[in-house]
Structure 1
Amino acid sequence: MTILDAYGLISGKKDMMYCVITRLELMELRRIVEKYDGSAFITVSDISEIIGDHIKKTSKVQQEVIAQQMEQREKAFAESEE
């Protein structure tokens, strides 16, 4: 998983999470994202090739921790906009 600084033309500054997961993990990821950000924009793509050796499986506990960190970052960003 990678967290990127992004900027939406309408929404402004946002954090973007980029994940490569299996089809079996998709429903769980959707559940986690819906729990923490029901308005999140999600894209799903088929991958034909991956090059590199940085691929590690993320446990459900790690996914929850990452989701909590994203929620904290989103709250901090929202507070800075006020």
Structure 2
Amino acid sequence: MRRRGIRAGIPKNPRRGKGTRGGKRAFRRRKAYRRARSRVERFFGWLKGGFRRWTVRPERRLATFLAFVLLACFLIAWRILR
């Protein structure tokens, strides 16, 4: 393509190549962040694993969805404390 004089029409990404010191990567390396992230991921894993209905058919109304999530949280805590 170069021999024929054809150039690529792909624009350069302005965000690429701009590195900052630390930034998101340094934040993600913090121990507290990793612990909190682990807890959140584990919680959603429990929700998806133990409550299939939540992942298969999510509720349309916010109040019903919130009630179901709170019920699931209660059942998870109850299983752990039992």
TM-score of the alignment, normalized to the shorter chain, above 0.5: no
Question: Which structure's relative contact order is higher, taking Cα pairs within 8 Å and 6+ residues apart?
Answer: 1
Looking at secondary structure, tell me which structure has more helix per residue.
2
TM-score, length of structure 2 as denominator length: 0.32
